[in-house]
A and B are shown apart, each in its own frame.
Chain A
Amino acid sequence: MHRIMLQKLWHKKWMNLCLLLGCILLIATVVSFPLYQTAAYDRMLQDEFRSYVAEEGRWPAMNSFSIVSKKERSGETISRMEGLMGKIYGDLGVTEKETIFYYTLSGANIHSALNRKDAENISLRLGSLSGLGEHVKMLSGEMYSETGMTEDGCIEVVMTQSAMVSMKLLVGETLVFNDLRDAEGKEIRLYVKGVFDAVSERDDYWQVKPEDLSSSVLMDRELFRSMFTGEKAGKYTVSCRYYALFDYEDIKATQVEHLIQATDDLTERGAYSGTADKPAYRSILGEYAKKQERIRVTLMILQIPVLIMLGAFLFMISGQMYEMERNEISVIKSRGSSGAQIFRLYLYQCAVLTLAGGALGIPLGTVFSRILGAARSFLEFDSLKGLTLTFTREVWIYAAAAMLITLFIMTLPAMKHSRVTIVKLKQQKALKRKSWWEKIFLDFILLGISLYGYYSFHKNGSVLGESVLQGDSLDPLLYISSSLFIVGLGLLFLRLQPYLVQLIYMAGKRFWRPASYASFMENTKNGRKQQFIMLFLIITISLGMYHATVARTILQNSYNNAAYMQGADIMVQEVWYAVVDTGSFTGEYAEPDYSKYAAMDFAENYARVRIETSAYVQTKENGRQDVTVMGIHTRDFGNVTWVDYDLNGRHYYEYLNDLAVNPTGVLVSDNFRTKLGYQVGDKLTYALENTGTPVKGPGRSTEGKIVGFFSYWPGYAPFVTETNPDGTVTTRENMLVVTHYNTMKQTFGVKPYQVWIDLKESADSSDAYAWFQNSGIRLTKYVDKAAELKKTMEDPLLQGTNGVLTMGFLVTILLCAVGYLIYWIMSIRSREMMFGVLRACGMHKGELIHMLLNEQIFSGVFSVIAGIGIGKLASGMFVPILQRAYAATDQVLPMNLVVNASDMVRLYSVIAGVMFLCLVVLIILIFKLNVTKALKLGEE
């Protein structure tokens, strides 16, 4: 049996190679999916953590607990908590970074042993902070010693500088508690040993901030434990805080589920839930998990067509192979071999192919996933980035499933054939019919379904957008609709193609040379045989077109949106200091030196922009409308910002000119007109919200004359979409008043503003960053447009979508090429004798090639053209709906269908390359055709 099988494999080696290729590609594609995803999720998770750190400046991966042990004789609570701290990292499955124990005795009064007048009765807290020594530098004196006690039994303590100042203590002083006694009833004395300062305040160790220690002195932890907690100490009330910090960099996407579970067990359900604070990382993980699910489902849906096509390819090739072996099978069958025997033979054969496919496909999958990770846009790659691939259990499950499915698809046709005897075969061959799908009008059915889908999605577009904002993934029905549309139109084209060829034949009936005539006849009578490969080609190309447009549109819209929302290349805001007048805040600030910005050698232009988000407008009906007020220098602002003409339907500078010539003018967003009924020329009264601080001098509100309405303005979002705690989404209108900076200054006083910077052509954002680093300017805000755009482009959803679509196209076009070649090689082989006859009748090779070229045009070129047309149509119809599925909550610009010429050029060149290659192979085949040899085929 095994020898027969190997012989069979060798005998049909080309077919089997094609099958193997199909197996490899299918398995590789399937495997690349979880591989890529895990890597992408890891990156995404780390990004989430990093952006939290960047925005909040705090270590997110931390659990904290607080308890108070009230006069507990045993100190059991404290021991339990310390026990918890010992095993928490293991429970969560994370790596410990820092564990901090902070104990304090409740405040107690002391007096100085020196009997100083100025420090008679001080209230302080005695505490201990674990690991203190490693994170401080001593400003004066020394750190407490190993034993924590002086030789004469005083507790050594250290404190911060601010504590020393506020409590007026001296280094070297001895303090005595007024009414606090130790376990044996003796008085407790403290010896001030030193003053410390944090080595670095940014150190994540400082969960208890040095500034929170201004009424505390700290002693050795061990000593504290032995004196105030535990067996002997039953009369103290100790407040305890525990901090467990762990490394988030080690957390893998696969751990997230467990980590969430373990965290919830700890902080919400377990014995310690009452003592635990809600950890910051929990919401990061929660957000991540939601996002991850959306990406996972979306990418999976996008992969389905490719997988189906891979399956169809395998089915086609194996079917083709059985077709070739039909006679053989039916002869064996008629001679008494059982169906099961034949089936087993094929099963073994397919199993060998599948195993080989797995062995080669799984490594190829890693290559695929790297390609996925490198896709910047459709068929466009960045240099291969270091995606850290891990073979998780999921990968192996996917691989095993892919192999089983491959095996099933390949052996499926064998089941059919193992039942066919030679008699049935002859009967079958005699029947020539229309394709089954033509008879049941599958093309019309599919088109009907997809158009219904299109219609209902089109009608309910806003609902779709909303569900996406609520975190839903791409609606599979929508994507299926578009795919069915493509398949349906492809089939319809196949139905019409013979008539089209007939039409061309009729049109030039009198002029066709013999070769063309023969090819017309071939197509009319034999065209149906190529339907499968034509459909494959049409679907590949139209899906390719469609996907190219989807990828480009989504990417471009996100990019444009991000670019628009950022307003200028760099936006910074300095730290402003309030003017404090005899202890009270006047609401005025001291304006930092603005002229220093002139030294920014990387900047082409810069402008100050003041934005007040807490403002309102006194409306005509005497109501209040919350607005945002923006104060600008028209000229400077115009130099650093830009709004496309299309967005407002008017040149951006015209707005700025209108404002510039009118000192009391305001530009307002369009909703003032649509919602509040304002007209150009109307007066508008706007004011800042009462922020609780008195404003000196200038008045609190002012009046402006409306000089223009705009729909879009740099950094302005007409709508803000907010997700409510219950998961629903509300859309709020944003109203913006743009006025002169000077008007704002006169009316509302001097308050912090931002500086918007336009980079020089020759400079980039790193120059700006370096400049600010060196300038010593303290910033509270630094927004870098380039970085924001990069972040947008690297969004795993966009990036993964591009990757999946590109990979899908490359895989299917490869299959197309192989399928196409197989079809044509088989077609030429089966007609070898006929070519011989034609040659004998005096046709030369040129004519034969001409004939085959014609056939290629009727099948290949027609399919390509149909594919392009169908792709364009599908893009035009479905992309505008589909892209809503990708709309971010902050999508404010109208979304446009984007077709990038260079994308199409890339697509066409891949197709042209593949077609050319096929043609070359076919022509070589024809030239190798030996006429006399061909004729002899008819002899024996």
Chain B
Amino acid sequence: MANDCLIEVSGVNRIFSVPGGEFQALKNINVKIMRSTLTILKGRSGSGKTTLMNIIGALDHPTSGTVLIDGRAVGKMSDKARENLRRKDMGFVFQAVSLIPTMNAFQNVEFSMRLAGIKAGRERDKRVEECLKLVGLGNRARHMPAEMSGGEQQRVAIARAIAHRPKLILADEPTAELDSAMAAQVTKLFQEMTRKEGITVLMTTHDVGLMGAGDMIIELESGEQVHGGENL
């Protein structure tokens, strides 16, 4: 069932020019990620996790190899098409606090829907509230990011990432700055997303305790795929 596969990464290499030579961040990566699954990308820092995330998120180009998202080759898309892809079909959650500091929780979530071109109205407001409730912050919609804890902010970021109903959520070390209880809670949230919303989630982490939550685990070491690509 080819349609079950949302992301297909084949033969991806990424080489950076660094002072005094080249650095190969990714070596021949081949990954298939199925729809509505939570995939965990694991590895030490510097193993190439973020580089792979950026390439899948159409933020960076591979030096060689192809990435197919929903059957379309990202490398062949125009800049505009890639931006549209990010706006409509993807949601991002970053390690550090990534909320827009001048907007409150509600506005932050709403903003991703604005970007996705969803018109203002009752529908949109309802969806924002729904997403905030989903992350357990229904009662804090009017709070500014500075008035919330790190975990709360990260949950708002997750709400923002799912609000416009993307096909894929890319979460880069979303739990790095959270305590373990909070990290578990966030990971559980991602798990729920895949079930309730049918969203595909790809998250990176080096927290071994969270691995159990993943439907699939990919492990990178020095840019090489040492484990994974198959369902557990």
Residues in A neighbouring B90, C-beta threshold 8 A: 842
Instruction: Tell whether A510 is near chain B: CB-to-CB under 8 Å.
Output: yes
Tell me whether A931 and B59 are in contact (CB under 8 A). yes
Residues in A neighbouring B83, C-beta threshold 8 A: 842-844
Tell me whether A834 and B115 are in contact (CB under 8 A). no
Tell me whether B100 and A837 are in contact (CB under 8 A). yes
Task: Specify the chain B residue showing the minimal Cβ separation from A844.
Answer: B83
Per-position 1/0 for B85-99, Cβ under 8 A of A? 111101010111110
Task: Specify the chain B residue showing the minimal Cβ separation from A522.
Answer: B102
Residues in A neighbouring B98, C-beta threshold 8 A: 833-834, 837, 938
Instruction: Tell whether B5 is near chain A: CB-to-CB under 8 Å.
Output: no
Residues in B neighbouring A270, C-beta threshold 8 A: none
Instruction: Report the contact-size class of chain B (Cβ under 8 Å from the partner).
Output: 20 to 34
* Bound-complex Cα distance A837 to B94 (A): 8
* Bound-complex Cα distance A879 to B93 (A): 60
Tell me whether A841 and B87 are in contact (CB under 8 A). yes
Within 8 A of A (CB), among B142-186: 144, 172-173
Tell me whether B59 and A514 are in contact (CB under 8 A). no
* Bound-complex Cα distance A125 to B9 (A): 128
Instruction: Tell whether B48 is near chain A: CB-to-CB under 8 Å.
Output: no
Per-position 1/0 for A154-183, Cβ under 8 A of B? 000000000000000000000000000000
Tell me whether A840 and B57 are in contact (CB under 8 A). yes
* Bound-complex Cα distance A931 to B116 (A): 19
- Contact of A514 (CB < 8 Å), options: B102, B111, B172: B111
A771 CB → nearest B CB, Å: 77
Per-position 1/0 for B58-82, Cβ under 8 A of A? 0110000000000000000001100
Instruction: Tell whether B54 is near chain A: CB-to-CB under 8 Å.
Output: yes
- Contact of A833 (CB < 8 Å), options: B50, B85, B88, B96: B96
With A931-B59, A938-B94: A842-B102 Cβ-Cβ less than 8 Å: no
Tell me whether A932 and B102 are in contact (CB under 8 A). no
Instruction: Tell whether A726 is near chain B: CB-to-CB under 8 Å.
Output: no
Tell me whether A517 and B111 are in contact (CB under 8 A). yes
Instruction: Tell whether A897 is near chain B: CB-to-CB under 8 Å.
Output: no
Residues in B neighbouring A517, C-beta threshold 8 A: 111, 114
B205 CB → nearest A CB, Å: 13
Residues in A neighbouring B103, C-beta threshold 8 A: 518, 521, 525
Residues in A neighbouring B97, C-beta threshold 8 A: 938
Tell me whether A842 and B101 are in contact (CB under 8 A). no
Per-position 1/0 for A489-514, Cβ under 8 A of B? 00000000000000000000010011
* Bound-complex Cα distance A938 to B50 (A): 11
Residues in A neighbouring B86, C-beta threshold 8 A: 840-842
Instruction: Tell whether B107 is near chain A: CB-to-CB under 8 Å.
Output: yes
Most chain A C-beta atoms within 10 Å of own C-beta, residue among B83, B84, B112: B83
Tell me whether A834 and B114 are in contact (CB under 8 A). no
B95 CB → nearest A CB, Å: 5
Instruction: Tell whether A586 is near chain B: CB-to-CB under 8 Å.
Output: no
Instruction: Tell whether A524 is near chain B: CB-to-CB under 8 Å.
Output: yes
Tell me whether A938 and B57 are in contact (CB under 8 A). no
Instruction: Tell whether B2 is near chain A: CB-to-CB under 8 Å.
Output: no
Instruction: Tell whether A935 is near chain B: CB-to-CB under 8 Å.
Output: yes
Tell me whether A518 and B111 are in contact (CB under 8 A). yes
Instruction: Tell whether B120 is near chain A: CB-to-CB under 8 Å.
Output: yes
B101 CB → nearest A CB, Å: 7
Tell me whether B60 and A932 are in contact (CB under 8 A). yes
* Bound-complex Cα distance A494 to B98 (A): 30
Residues in B neighbouring A510, C-beta threshold 8 A: 120
Per-position 1/0 for A229-267, Cβ under 8 A of B? 000000000000000000000000000000000000000
Residues in A neighbouring B88, C-beta threshold 8 A: 842
Most chain B C-beta atoms within 10 Å of own C-beta, residue among A517, A833, A841, A935: A841
* Bound-complex Cα distance A939 to B49 (A): 12
Task: Specify the chain A residue showing the minimal Cβ separation from B54.
Answer: A932
With A842-B83, A842-B84: A837-B92 Cβ-Cβ less than 8 Å: yes
Tell me whether B115 and A842 are in contact (CB under 8 A). yes
Instruction: Tell whether A936 is near chain B: CB-to-CB under 8 Å.
Output: yes
Tell me whether A521 and B100 are in contact (CB under 8 A). yes
* Bound-complex Cα distance A937 to B50 (A): 12
- Contact of A841 (CB < 8 Å), options: B60, B96, B115: B115
- Contact of A939 (CB < 8 Å), options: B101, B116, B173: B173
Task: Specify the chain B residue showing the minimal Cβ separation from A938.
Answer: B96
* Bound-complex Cα distance A935 to B57 (A): 12
Instruction: Tell whether A896 is near chain B: CB-to-CB under 8 Å.
Output: no
Per-position 1/0 for A842-882, Cβ under 8 A of B? 11100000000000000000000000000000000000000
Residues in B neighbouring A842, C-beta threshold 8 A: 83-88, 90, 115-116
- Contact of B95 (CB < 8 Å), options: A514, A518, A522, A938: A938
Instruction: Tell whether A526 is near chain B: CB-to-CB under 8 Å.
Output: yes
Task: Specify the chain A residue showing the minimal Cβ separation from B89.
Answer: A842
* Bound-complex Cα distance A840 to B95 (A): 13
* Bound-complex Cα distance A508 to B96 (A): 33
Within 8 A of B (CB), among A18-59: none
Tell me whether B102 and A526 are in contact (CB under 8 A). yes
Most chain A C-beta atoms within 10 Å of own C-beta, residue among B54, B80, B95, B102: B102
* Bound-complex Cα distance A525 to B83 (A): 28
B169 CB → nearest A CB, Å: 12
Within 8 A of A (CB), among B89-134: 90, 92, 94-98, 100-103, 107, 111-112, 114-116, 120
* Bound-complex Cα distance A932 to B57 (A): 11
Residues in A neighbouring B100, C-beta threshold 8 A: 518, 521, 834, 837-838
Per-position 1/0 for A901-940, Cβ under 8 A of B? 0000000000000000000000000000001100111110
Tell me whether A939 and B59 are in contact (CB under 8 A). no
A629 CB → nearest B CB, Å: 80
Residues in A neighbouring B114, C-beta threshold 8 A: 513-514, 517
Per-position 1/0 for A721-743, Cβ under 8 A of B? 00000000000000000000000
With A834-B100, A935-B94, A938-B95: A844-B115 Cβ-Cβ less than 8 Å: no
Residues in A neighbouring B59, C-beta threshold 8 A: 839-840, 931-932, 935
B202 CB → nearest A CB, Å: 14
Residues in B neighbouring A932, C-beta threshold 8 A: 54, 59-60
Tell me whether B112 and A939 are in contact (CB under 8 A). no
Residues in B neighbouring A513, C-beta threshold 8 A: 114
Tell me whether A939 and B95 are in contact (CB under 8 A). yes
Within 8 A of B (CB), among A522-574: 522, 524-526
* Bound-complex Cα distance A104 to B157 (A): 112
Most chain B C-beta atoms within 10 Å of own C-beta, residue among A833, A840, A844, A937: A840
Task: Specify the chain A residue showing the minimal Cβ separation from B100.
Answer: A834
* Bound-complex Cα distance A524 to B101 (A): 12
Residues in A neighbouring B112, C-beta threshold 8 A: 841
* Bound-complex Cα distance A837 to B111 (A): 12
A927 CB → nearest B CB, Å: 14
Residues in B neighbouring A841, C-beta threshold 8 A: 86-87, 92, 111-112, 115
Residues in B neighbouring A840, C-beta threshold 8 A: 57, 59, 86, 92, 94
Task: Specify the chain A residue showing the minimal Cβ separation from B92.
Answer: A840
B82 CB → nearest A CB, Å: 8
Per-position 1/0 for A824-838, Cβ under 8 A of B? 000000000110011
B147 CB → nearest A CB, Å: 11
A940 CB → nearest B CB, Å: 8
Tell me whether B115 and A843 are in contact (CB under 8 A). yes
Residues in A neighbouring B79, C-beta threshold 8 A: 844
Task: Specify the chain A residue showing the minimal Cβ separation from B88.
Answer: A842
Instruction: Jot down 24 A-B pairs with beta carbons below 8 A, ordered by A.
Output: A513-B114, A518-B100, A518-B102, A521-B102, A521-B107, A833-B96, A834-B98, A834-B100, A834-B101, A837-B94, A837-B98, A841-B87, A841-B92, A842-B83, A842-B84, A842-B85, A842-B90, A842-B116, A843-B115, A844-B83, A935-B54, A936-B50, A938-B94, A938-B98
Across the A-B interface, give the 3 residue pairs with the lowest CB-CB distance, nearest first: A842-B87, A938-B96, A842-B86
Where the two chains meet, the residues of B that have a C-beta atom closer than 8 Å to any C-beta of A are 50, 54, 57, 59-60, 79-80, 83-88, 90, 92, 94-98, 100-103, 107, 111-112, 114-116, 120, 144, 172-173
Where the two chains meet, the residues of A that have a C-beta atom closer than 8 Å to any C-beta of B are 510, 513-514, 517-518, 521-522, 524-526, 833-834, 837-844, 931-932, 935-939
